[in-house]
Structure 1
Amino acid sequence: MNADACEYPLFDTHAHLNFPPFSENIPATIKKFQAKNIQKVFIPATKASEFVELLFLAHHYEKIFYVGLGLHPYFIPSHLPSDIDYLSLLIQKDKASVQPVIKAIGEIGLDAAIAKIDSDLFKQQCNLFRSQLILAKEFNLPVVIHSRKTHSLILTYLKKTVPGLRGVIHGFSGSYEEAMNFIKLGFMIGVGSVITYSRANKTRRAIAKIPLEWVVLETDSPDMPPSGQQGTVNRSENLVQIFSVLCALRQESRSHIAKVIWGNSQQLTC
């Protein structure tokens, strides 16, 4: 390991390593993050065109890559009506296999920021989100949820439309009260680079206070680089910086935090 590697194994629970520049040399990508003691990475899909590639990565790099398949709200214009049926078929086949590799449905969710000037687009997001929540319930899979300016509406879906689901609120940026509302429903809080920015006071206070048993770490590579690296490609290796900031915000020891969040992350791949 590198001298600046984390002393504890870490799990990046959200990174799009099937995107460039990582996809151009997957073995080199793995070597770089493992040198920092990042031992496992969860890769969510955003479009149906990624599904086969992610299944290949999960099978080919067993115990390193774990995957979820889902349809991201950002790509609504490119999703086809048949994509939900395709997603369902792949999950059925995977469930029937000797070694299932699909660990979640995701990345799914709602994004009011990209749909704010188009009510029809947001309605399409809601319909797609609902359909994927129903699939998750049917196949007993957790969900990885993208939520931007939509926490209240997503809570309503999780409480009333498809209650009883579990999963992660990815890239959480919100208050303590909002985090606890999701935790009460059984959802982990995905903590990423936002906590490395001193101006993110609300979210930093929330992450300092919520029960550690509901925290997982993520980078969202190649997007959302941490403070000091704005304008660069975010990488799974940056999880070391995010972990260090988390430890600075919390009262528990580094070793305890590392042990608990590793266990939390493992739950997502059981």
Structure 2
Amino acid sequence: MAYLLIDSHCHLDFPVFDDSRDQVLKRAQAVNVAHIVVPGVVARDFPRVLAVQRAYPETVSIALGLHPCFMKEHAQTDVEVLAAYLDTTPVCALGEIGLDFYDKEADKKAQLALLKAQIKLAKAHQLPLILHVRKAHDEMLKVLREMQFSEGGIVHAFSGSEQQAHRYIDRGFLIGVGGAITYSRAQRLRSVIAKLPLQALALETDSPDMPLDGFQGRPNEPARMSVVLDTLSALRGESRIVLGTEITKNTRQKLNLSTGV
């Protein structure tokens, strides 16, 4: 392989990796996954995210954010905590943030307020976003439009329609492609990803989550991005080299990664 890959979304700080982090990274590097973006999800774990970056400074970049699936764990002052971190911590994006309306009991009003507060921070710091969106793409696109957010970013684990994907792309976002496309039953998603412009794609694993077909029941890890790339190559009829080279360039530019990849 003459190209290097970036896993644009991997929770390498999670405790499941505490006894295997070095080995996980070695396996990733063996299949040319050379750089990993680790997003924060709750303020109390920001120090853990920073510790991983300090341990692997050439391999890891970080983002920080307050995730919509952890609303009960966020304190009222956490946006201020996040703001303080952004003033002192080099990050490649603000995230993982977003909207998750999958649970019918979700507090949509609270999620929207948290999202908007964080987008204001991203605008102030001119940072791209790493977005988590489930059952809320139209609402997310409305917020981005109303807040005139122009820094773009990555829509992690995209699962919307082709029309929604193009609306994100028009706003400067890449579409995150991960293990979901390895499932043959994901026909709509596979069809959408096959049609999108190559310049609009990013690769990710969401490790240790979002297991690939055939790897259910085991923690996901960055090395499996090679399988995602194989699947993407088959779906699009484009070579691994072309896909890997262009998607790495997309991600590096969108997240302003000053790495060797």
TM-score greater than 0.5 by the shorter chain: yes
Q: Distance in 2 between matches of 1:32 and 1:163?
A: 37
- Is 2:99 the partner of 1:110? yes
105-114 or 25-34: bigger deviation: 25-34
Please tell me whether the aligned partners of residues 12 and 52 of structure 2 are also in contact (alpha carbons under 8 angstroms). no
What CA RMSD, in Å, does the superposition of the two structures yield over aligned residues?
1.4
Specify the alignment match of 2:57 in structure 1: 62
Specify the alignment match of 1:17 in structure 2: 12
Specify the alignment match of 2:186 in structure 1: 200
Amino acid paired to 2:54: H
- Is 2:38 the partner of 1:43? yes
Distance apart, 1:159 and its partner CA: 0.7
Distance apart, 1:58 and its partner CA: 2.0
Please tell me whether the aligned partners of residues 47 and 75 of structure 1 are also in contact (alpha carbons under 8 angstroms). yes
Amino acid paired to 2:155: I
Specify the alignment match of 2:212 in structure 1: 226
Amino acid paired to 2:58: K
Normalised by the length of structure 2, the TM-score is 0.94
Amino acid paired to 2:94: I
Number of equivalent positions: 256
Specify the alignment match of 1:255 in structure 2: 241
Q: Distance in 2 between matches of 1:269 and 1:27?
A: 25
Q: Distance in 2 between matches of 1:74 and 1:35?
A: 33
Distance apart, 1:36 and its partner CA: 2.2
225-234 or 53-62: bigger deviation: 53-62
- Is 2:139 the partner of 1:139? no
Specify the alignment match of 1:93 in structure 2: 88
Distance apart, 1:59 and its partner CA: 3.0
Amino acid paired to 1:70: G
Amino acid paired to 2:250: N
Please tell me whether the aligned partners of residues 39 and 62 of structure 2 are also in contact (alpha carbons under 8 angstroms). yes
Higher relative contact order (CA 8 A, sep 6+): 2
Percent of residue pairs identical: 39
Distance apart, 1:228 and its partner CA: 1.2
Distance apart, 1:253 and its partner CA: 2.6
| Deviation per residue, 1:211-238 (Å, 9 max, x gap) | 1001010011111101111222111111
Structure 1's unaligned 5+ residue stretches are 1-5, 95-100
Structure 1 segments, 4+ long, off by >3 Å, are none
SS in structure 1 at match of 2:158 = coil
Distance apart, 1:7 and its partner CA: 6.5
Distance apart, 1:89 and its partner CA: 0.9
- Is 2:138 the partner of 1:152? yes
- Is 2:81 the partner of 1:81? no
